[in-house]
Amino acid sequence: MQDIATTLKRLWTTPAGRWSAALAFIVLFPLYAAILPASLTGGHIGWVSLRLLAPAQAVFAFLLATVLALTLAAMVLLIRDGQKASKSSAASGALVAFFAPLLCCTPLIPLGLGALAVVFPAVNGFAPGTIQGFIATHESAIELMALALSFVAFWQNARLLSRAPACVIRKVQGTKY
């Protein structure tokens, strides 16, 4: 928890941290607010889907955008300091949250299973409706898993940022630079 507090303080006091977090939030919040009601609109994404945005989905979009914006800002500071950032859990959390509302009501799963059936004929008898029904039924749990993955990514990057020494270039005695 101390790593998270230290990272939040550093993000707030560093202009690069503030700007990257703010810009990421400005992009991610409307994106998730427009995507989350996609299961109610038959997979259509756009500003028109904001009419169907439930309060719980708005809170979730806010939380997910906040955690991902902080993760991206921490990654920016890590890379700027010459450290390695943890990218895999951040990407997986963002992708799960992005695709979960889309997979239940769009033809992505039937098309994917059809493409697999060309190579593997045993897939031909598998009903895509079963997968889509599972995703529609457990969509909130899948989105909570995406939020948890995003928080793990923020925690990993916060740990790296708070424990790693910043790259500081010092003047060596005897040189003029």
pLDDT in tens, 12-37: 888 888 899 999 999 989 988 888 77
**CA 66, 166, 26: angle at the middle one, nearest 5?**
20
Q: What is the residue whose two structure tokens read 């859990």?
A: 89
Looking at residue 168, its pLDDT comes to 46
The count of structural domains within the chain is: 1
23 assigned to some structural domain: yes
Surface-to-core class of residue 88, CB atoms within 10 Å of its CB (0-12 exposed, 13-18 middle, 19+ buried): exposed
End-to-end CA distance of the chain: 40
172 assigned to some structural domain: no
Looking at residue 26, its pLDDT comes to 95
pLDDT in tens, 111-134: 666 777 777 776 666 666 676 677
Domain coverage including residue 40 = 2-163
Q: What global pTM score does this model have?
A: 0.71
